[in-house]
Structure formats: C-alpha cells, structure tokens
C-alpha cells in the first residue's frame, strides 16, 4: 500500500475475524438490524473512522469515494448455533479450507451476507475508502433505495454478496413482483363456468407458456416465472368467489421490466394485476477498472479468477440502475449455502477475501499494490 495514502489504518486478520464472529452472533433479520448496525459503528469508531446510522438504519462510514464498499446488514430469519469448528470435522466445499486445515464459522448470515459485510468493513478501514452497510436487502432493499437517492455517485462500487474468494459477479437478473386479483359470482360447483380461482390459474398457465424456453437456453437468459402465494375461496358473505395470486418474474439482461410486464398482461382476460416497482437486470463488462482490479488481486493470491452471472437479484441491480459507474459484486462464501440450515463460512477464505478487497480498493484509489 502506498505510504502517501491517507485515512488508512491497519486491521489485523484476527480483528477482522472477531468482527465477523461478533456480527454473526448478533441476530439481524430484516427489520431488526439495529444491534448489528451498532456493532459496525463501534468497529469503525475504534479505528478512528467517523460512522453513524442514517434515518433508515444504514451504517454510513464515508471516506475516499474512489470506491464504495457496500453489503447488507440484514439476514433471513433462522437460528443456527454460532460456533467455530475445524474444517476437517465438517463437509466443507471450499478447497482453501480443505487445503489449509483451517476453521469454519457456522451461523446465520455467515455467508449471506455477513461474511462479505465484515470483510468489506475491515478492507475499508485498511484502505481508507467509503463503506455503507445497508438494511432490508432480503425484503424490499429499502437501504439501497435510500442510498442511491441520498448520496452522490461514487467513482466505483463493490457490492458484497457471496461469490467465493476467487469469484467476481458481473451480472444479475432483474425482478418483477405482481399480485393478481379476481372475483366471480358464487354458484354450485356443478356449474361449468370458471370461477375466480380458475381465472387465476388460467392466467398463470398462460404466463408460464408465454415465457417457455428450450433446454438449450441458459437460465440466466430466461424469464423465470414463479407463483409464490395463492389465496382463494368463498367470500365472507357467501355471494362470490375470490382469488389472489402473488407472482415473481426474474428478468434477463436481454429484456426490460416493461416488456416482461406487457407479455404477462397480454395473457390477462379476467381479473387485474398490480405490479410492485421493478428492479432492473444488470450485466457489467469484464473490462471495467473494477473487474480488472479484481482479476489482478485474485491472481496475486495465486488463484484463477472466475467471472460469474447469477440468476437471482441483488442491490447491485439498484445501484447500476441509478449510478453510471463501474461495479461488481464480491464476497467470501459458497452461495449454495445462502439461507440454508447449514450455513457456514471458511475462515481461511474470509481472510483471503479481506486481502483481495484491500488490493482492489488500493488499486482503485490509485495507490501501489
């Protein structure tokens, strides 16, 4: 690291690990992030960095905006006993843990996304770059939505989600959620006319057919249409049949939310659909300065970088939809363990990601590696 770079403070890997364990040990399901946010603020203040929680609960630690390191504070619900075990005692997917005989941290959020969050906090202090821990990513992304409205665009963004220490995520599908509602007159079930429940299922069958793809089309390039909740039956007054169907559609970068919405509505004959605000898809170039910095940093670790596209959606989609700056998503952890009952993270991989994030941030600040 260049000796001329300002606002940098050494953070040992031991202290970075302790932050990770402290955060994983602090329950932070969406809407209940306050205690974990306070832990993060205390960490930054202990190293002489200004930090606070804003009006929606985001942890803000501004510094050099050459790059903004940001990940989410919240996790999905679910209690997993927090403990550190030898890697040899568990089925660890990451070769780095198998190779070193290192330890594994078990606990809710260790992968999604407290591991990336803690690694970014440590790297931000080490390199003097800006940091934000956002809230509500697992529900409505209220933290990221507030952030893009409340602060100026940084020069670059690294979003924190599990990609593995050698993975660089450049693409995510977009997201569109809708609620279908229909009502029909009640009548004897022997009558042939379809009722509201049938109207709902008929509409959704048409939507699924409209987005049917052949087996050779990659999932990332498809629209995935999923019903997520259905409620229906005779109304309280007994005079009608009612149906409500909640649906979600994932949008590939080749399409936009408006096109997907219009295709779904074209199958609508009876009933109405209300749509939530969509999240656009994103696909970043592998040739941006952020992607190049990651490839170089990963190679310095003696590893081969992997460029990833993910079929889900993240806060990076929102940042890319508003900010015109290069970005990527990165973080330790096996994303197959997101939200899983056996969620766990290799601590050796966590250490490696702290080093890689530090190199990337230093490069983007214009310092020496």
Please indicate whether residue 74 is annotated as part of the active site. Answer: yes
- Active-site residue, from 103, 137, 343, 355: 137
Relative to beta strand 164-172, strand 327-331 is antiparallel
Rg (CA), the chain: 23
- Active-site residue, from 33, 74, 161, 351: 74
Q: Are 147 and 286 in contact (CB under 8 A)?
A: no
Tokens of 362: 């230093």
Q: What is the DSSP letter of 9?
A: -
Q: Are 47 and 125 in contact (CB under 8 A)?
A: yes
Q: Which residue in this structure is represented by tokens 């040739």?
A: 287
Q: Are 88 and 101 in contact (CB under 8 A)?
A: yes
Report the alpha-carbon distance of residue 321 to residue 326 in Å, rounded.
Answer: 12
Q: What is the DSSP letter of 211?
A: T
Q: Report which of 365, 331, 200, 210 is spatially closest to residue 272, judged by C-alpha positions.
A: 200
Q: Which residues contact 352 (CB under 8 A, 6 or more apart)?
A: 96, 165, 301, 332
Counting Cβ atoms within 10 Å, is residue 269 exposed (0-12), middle (13-18) or buried (19+)?
Answer: exposed
Q: Are 43 and 148 in contact (CB under 8 A)?
A: no
- Residues annotated as catalytic are 74, 137
């Amino acid at each position: 690291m260049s000796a001329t770079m300002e606002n940098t403070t050494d953070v040992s890997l031991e202290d970075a690990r302790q932050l990770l364990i402290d955060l994983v040990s602090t329950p932070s399901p969406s809407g209940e992030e306050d205690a974990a946010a306070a832990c993060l603020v205390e960490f930054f203040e202990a190293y002489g960095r200004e930090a606070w929680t804003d009006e929606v609960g985001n942890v803000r630690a501004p510094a050099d905006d050459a790059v903004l390191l940001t990940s989410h504070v919240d996790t999905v619900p679910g209690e997993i006993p927090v403990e550190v075990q030898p890697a040899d005692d568990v089925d660890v997917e990451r070769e780095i843990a198998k190779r070193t005989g290192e330890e594994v941290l078990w606990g809710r959020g260790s992968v999604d996304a407290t591991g990336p969050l803690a690694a970014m906090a440590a790297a931000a202090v080490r390199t003097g770059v800006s940091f934000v821990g956002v809230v509500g990513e697992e529900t409505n992304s209220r933290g990221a939505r507030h952030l893009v409205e409340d602060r100026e665009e940084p020069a670059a963004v690294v979003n924190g989600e599990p990609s593995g220490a050698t993975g660089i995520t450049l693409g995510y599908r977009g997201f569109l959620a809708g609620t279908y509602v229909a009502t029909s007159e009640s009548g004897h079930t022997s009558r042939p006319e379809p009722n509201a429940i049938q109207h709902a299922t008929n509409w959704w069958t048409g939507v699924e057919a409209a987005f049917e793809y052949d087996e050779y089309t990659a999932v990332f390039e498809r629209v995935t249409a999923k019903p997520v909740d259905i409620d229906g039956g005779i109304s309280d007054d007994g005079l009608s049949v009612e149906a409500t169907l909640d649906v979600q559609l994932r949008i590939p970068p080749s399409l936009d939310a408006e096109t997907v919405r219009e295709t779904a509505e074209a199958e609508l004959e009876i009933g109405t659909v209300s749509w939530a605000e969509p999240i656009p898809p994103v696909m970043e170039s592998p040739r941006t300065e952020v992607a190049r910095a990651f490839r170089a940093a990963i190679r310095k670790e003696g590893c081969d970088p992997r460029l990833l596209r993910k079929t889900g959606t993240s806060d990076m989609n929102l940042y890319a939809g508003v900010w015109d700056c290069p970005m990527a998503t990165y973080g330790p952890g096996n994303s197959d363990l997101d939200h899983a009952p056996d969620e766990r993270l290799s601590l050796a991989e966590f250490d490696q990601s702290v080093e890689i994030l530090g190199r990337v941030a230093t490069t983007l600040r214009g310092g020496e590696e």
